[in-house]
Structure 1
Amino acid sequence: MRTSPLTVPRAAALLASLAGLLLTLLVPATPAHAAPTGFRVQDGRLLEASGNDFVMRGVNHAHTWYADKLDSLDHIKAKDANTVRVVLSSGDRWTRNDTADVANVVAQCKLNRLICVLEVHDTTGYGEQSGAVTLSRAADYWIEVRDALVGQEDYVIVNIGNEPHGNTDYTRWTDDTKAAIQKLRAAGFDHTLMVDAPNWGQDWAFTMRDNAASVFAADPDANTVFSIHMYGVFDTAAEVSDYLNRFVAAELPIVVGEFGHDHSDGNPDEDAVLSVTRQLGIGYLGWSWSGNGGGVEYLDMVENFDPNRMTSWGQRLFDGADGIAATSEEAAIYRSGSGEDTTAPTAPGTPAASRVTSSSVTLTWGASTDAVGVTGYDVVRVAGGQETVVASSSGTTATVTGLAADTSYNFAVYARDAAGNRSARSATVDVITASGPAAGPCAVTYRVTGEWPGGFQGEVVVRNTGSTAVDGWTLRWTFPTGQRITSLWGGTVTQSGAEVSVQAAPYTATIPPSGSVSLGFTGTRAGTDTDPTVFLLNGAECSAA
């Protein structure tokens, strides 16, 4: 997705379009190369290794900014998508997604029976966007995380870099793209590669369109797919149809890698995108599941990653005419013969309890197995013969919160697969929560005062509600969603995992009756913040202010 306004020189675009009418996009005969190990391109179509034609029907998911939201893949699959395009970072502009994280993303895509298109976002708007990196640097990143991708050619398509040129020096796109493709091939990548257009992905100058044949010919594996992003430039059905039909006529593989129903640079014709791609058998990936900011929140398909809070854009894409539900077909690699999967996963192992507090417990259990993969687990509280789902997880651990102090609970776990089959229940575990701390003469207010991708600024106000002064203090709390403090003023901070301890500075050490002190801090986060709720001042629990 673009992160900067786009100015579209319509006159230049029209001239380029007229010039394009004179071009014949000749694609040379497919060069001889090794038998495909996964996806491949043939006659301008994307095929699975089995030879089945594969048409992408899916969405984009902003994983690098919301690393704690991998359960979204389960929800996306439940809406009938067959593909997800996952945002990653090389570490040049945002927190790096390392080899282990990439491997986990691929595993979760497979568990949810989704084809995984992985893209590096740090290239967005190179030449115009401050901090953006080259396609060569993106190729280096893929080589660095290669161990997570080797052997996954049936399931993974490598989208080298997102929108790799803005509107400055975009004519470099052709040579830069050829070089990046060849660097990856030389490093042993056998995957289908995907390349985004310049001009913030929208190719208004037709650089990708008019040079696609030579770029395709530069791939020694003849296994590259082109991706156009359709926002305000594509605001008429004629523009959508003309652009896509040129690729089809030239037998060059094309997908709509991003598009929306509205945008700051104009009103894209989403109905035309959906209709024309259906007619031509071309894939599309809508932007984006959830988590948009910077004034384009209207592009969220669900609110706050909640699959039950579908937006109008989400309803249009998933359930409307030519939408995902009506046109998506699951990848053949995931289909078990010709029949529907009716075999449930095995029961999970008995959960074990750890980190038991007065209000929460962490449960860990042995993994289930399933012929086509387990997509997730549900933790249930068992009481009086009734079961209540209290947590869900894509992995084998979950933290249950909102418990009462000094209370006995009984928990069990179910597994589920992509076909909706549910396992037998695991054995149960009994948990007794800890006694709560004594209430203290204090009240705490916590709030986020600013935020940005991967980071935020917060404030904690501690008020003395007692009748005597607090002289020297230590404040403790636990971050529930993995936040980490990078700097703090008003005290000295130490943090071990999620546990935070702040010792008063000399100028904040004394809190008079009815007085207060404020702490400010900056921090990092993996995704959407969940505020801490329990604060202990000198070991006593403070009320919420």
Structure 2
Amino acid sequence: MKTRLSVVAATLLTFVVGLVAFGMQPAHAAAGFTVANGKLYDANGNEFVMRGVNHAHTWYTHQTSSFANVKALGANTVRVVLSSGQRWTKNDTADVSNVISLCKQNKLICVLEVHDTTGYGEQAGAATLAQAVDYWISVQSALAGQEKYVILNIGNEPYGNQGYATWATDTSNAIKRLRTAGFEHTIMVDAPNWGQDWSFTMRDNATSVFAADPARNTVFSIHMYGVFNTAAKISDYLGRFRTAGLPIVVGEFGHNHSDGDPDEDAILSYSQANGLGWLGWSWSGNGGGVEYLDLAINFDPANLSSWGQRLFNGANGIRQTAREASVYGGTTPTTPPTTPPTTPPVTTPPPTTPPAGKSCAATYSIVGSWQGGFQGDVKVTAGSAAISGWTVTWTFTGGQTVTQSWNATVTSSGSSVTAKNVGYNGNLGAGASTTFGFIGSASGTNTAPTLTCTAV
């Protein structure tokens, strides 16, 4: 997580897709996770999609219960902040072993990262990628034999907005040093520019960096904050990696930031539609004016922030989409909500076939309930002709109110609610569907309302 970033207006550059056949199997068999066809596979050969959070362990080493709490909320992965000793107290071999043990006890995949590299070239005292490799070699005994459960993220946001031209060379050299030292783990590499790659340095050099790994077992990580404030920017950046057959994850992102307003709904919906992993920033303990990025307030899993509710309980969020890694026996969605619904899920009947012409139909579902609140989802389906926009309206009859929404612009007037499409989900082909969701409050009977859908 960066503490500052100068936002630079970025002009999209031409992305050169390498001619290397990255869909081929790794050059040699790894002991744990592998990469093929731009996808990540676990040691059993099953595709694995990260759905998890970042945890600032190095600053809160006593918060060991966080691993169990994150798991109980449904996550399948935790990215753990470690220090190599350049800027903060070094996490020694014993501590790294304990972190891995906590991940395994709670059936979480562990992404371990060195945070001291953050903003190198712009941040005073930041470590180099070479120093990060020195650290990994110094704690290698804790990592040996853990390839099934651990992904090694060399260094967090390894360059700021200065000196990043050497990112590709330095990253390639770091990967090769780790392989020479005997590391067989999947390696994750972060983008420069405080992780946001507005210069497209990682994007345009990813082909050569991937080829530098003798094991062909490297995953790229982009951090999405204010630079990624529209669905178009998000889909363009991630889509170019997909086209190139290169594995990409969103290693950090938030719902807001001091450098701008990221489009978290688009990040989540695009990732879900395209099988890309992500890790939200961050579990708890943020400071420096970005305390609003805490998912759990004061490390309390029963006191989620609005960001936490969105990430864990919202559409395309962790509860809906996370699958436990098969190395732990997981084949179904991870654990259900810790607070079960007080009433069975309520769903309106399926819509009748929409009439001809520009039309749409909508269905309303209550997908989770808790004391005083609930999560609702609405599915919008175009009729027999394509539409360019939609509006869904309803009237609550039980005193419910909408407190937060995603994938739609939702407004209320008394008990009446109006939801309109956002920029990226208004155009629907004939018979095509999209969804939006919301968090609501409810103090009485939570009856599903009747919906009206209007198309343009």
Match of 1:219 among 194, 213, 222: 213
Retained in 2: the 8 A contact 1:25–1:210?
no
Matches within 5 A, 1:518-533: none
Q: Secondary structure at the match of 2:249?
A: strand
Task: Classify 1:206/1:338 alpha carbon distance in 2 versus 1 (closer, same or farther; 3 Å).
Answer: closer
Task: Classify 1:62/1:222 alpha carbon distance in 2 versus 1 (closer, same or farther; 3 Å).
Answer: same
Is residue 276 of structure 2 the alignment partner of residue 277 of structure 1?
A: no
The TM-score with structure 2 as length reference comes to: 0.72
Is residue 204 of structure 2 the alignment partner of residue 210 of structure 1?
A: yes
Match of 2:140 among 114, 128, 146: 146
1:316 is aligned to: 310
Is residue 191 of structure 2 the alignment partner of residue 194 of structure 1?
A: no
Is residue 164 of structure 2 the alignment partner of residue 178 of structure 1?
A: no
Q: Secondary structure at the match of 1:211?
A: helix
| Equivalent-residue separation in structure 2 for 1:139 and 1:340 (angstroms) | 34
Retained in 1: the 8 A contact 2:323–2:331?
no
Gaps of 5+ in 1: 342-545
Q: Secondary structure at the match of 1:19?
A: coil
Equivalent pairs: percent with the same residue? 65
Give how far 1:338 is off: 8.7
1:25 is aligned to: 18
Alignment deviations for residues 74-132 of structure 1 (CA, whole Å, 9 cap, x no partner): 00000000000000000110011000000000000000000000000000000000000
Is residue 84 of structure 2 the alignment partner of residue 84 of structure 1?
A: no
1:249 is aligned to: 243
| Equivalent-residue separation in structure 1 for 2:333 and 2:81 (angstroms) | 33
2:38 is aligned to: 44
Letter in 2 for 1:108: L
Letter in 1 for 2:306: S
Letter in 1 for 2:14: A
| Equivalent-residue separation in structure 2 for 1:273 and 1:26 (angstroms) | 28
Q: Secondary structure at the match of 2:113?
A: strand
Alignment deviations for residues 345-402 of structure 1 (CA, whole Å, 9 cap, x no partner): xxxxxxxxxxxxxxxxxxxxxxxxxxxxxxxxxxxxxxxxxxxxxxxxxxxxxxxxxx
Gaps of 5+ in 2: 336-456
Q: Secondary structure at the match of 2:282?
A: coil
Q: Secondary structure at the match of 1:95?
A: coil
Is residue 2 of structure 2 the alignment partner of residue 7 of structure 1?
A: no
2:252 is aligned to: 258
Letter in 2 for 1:7: S
Task: Classify 1:336/1:60 alpha carbon distance in 2 versus 1 (closer, same or farther; 3 Å).
Answer: closer
| Equivalent-residue separation in structure 1 for 2:26 and 2:286 (angstroms) | 43
Give how far 1:27 is off: 3.2
| Equivalent-residue separation in structure 1 for 2:154 and 2:112 (angstroms) | 8
Task: Classify 1:128/1:330 alpha carbon distance in 2 versus 1 (closer, same or farther; 3 Å).
Answer: same
Q: Which has the higher contact order (CA 8 A, sep 6+)?
A: 2
Retained in 1: the 8 A contact 2:54–2:281?
yes
Retained in 1: the 8 A contact 2:296–2:304?
yes
Give how far 1:278 is off: 0.3
| Equivalent-residue separation in structure 2 for 1:284 and 1:72 (angstroms) | 18
Give how far 1:340 is off: 11
Letter in 2 for 1:296: V
Alignment deviations for residues 25-63 of structure 1 (CA, whole Å, 9 cap, x no partner): 333454763322100000110001211000000000000
Is residue 131 of structure 2 the alignment partner of residue 132 of structure 1?
A: no
| Equivalent-residue separation in structure 2 for 1:282 and 1:181 (angstroms) | 22
Letter in 1 for 2:144: V
Retained in 2: the 8 A contact 1:31–1:220?
no
Q: Secondary structure at the match of 2:54?
A: strand
Task: Classify 1:129/1:339 alpha carbon distance in 2 versus 1 (closer, same or farther; 3 Å).
Answer: closer
The TM-score with structure 1 as length reference comes to: 0.60
Alignment deviations for residues 398-428 of structure 1 (CA, whole Å, 9 cap, x no partner): xxxxxxxxxxxxxxxxxxxxxxxxxxxxxxx
2:385 is aligned to: none
Q: Secondary structure at the match of 1:235?
A: coil
| Equivalent-residue separation in structure 2 for 1:337 and 1:168 (angstroms) | 45
Retained in 2: the 8 A contact 1:126–1:166?
yes
Retained in 1: the 8 A contact 2:119–2:159?
yes
Match of 2:47 among 50, 53, 63: 53
1:515 is aligned to: none
| Equivalent-residue separation in structure 2 for 1:306 and 1:31 (angstroms) | 43
| Equivalent-residue separation in structure 1 for 2:278 and 2:45 (angstroms) | 20
Task: Classify 1:135/1:340 alpha carbon distance in 2 versus 1 (closer, same or farther; 3 Å).
Answer: closer
What is the number of equivalent residue pairs in this alignment?
334
Retained in 2: the 8 A contact 1:163–1:201?
yes
| Equivalent-residue separation in structure 1 for 2:79 and 2:333 (angstroms) | 28
| Equivalent-residue separation in structure 1 for 2:295 and 2:317 (angstroms) | 13
Letter in 1 for 2:18: L
Letter in 2 for 1:282: L
RMSD: 1.6
Alignment deviations for residues 122-159 of structure 1 (CA, whole Å, 9 cap, x no partner): 00000000000100000010000000000000000000
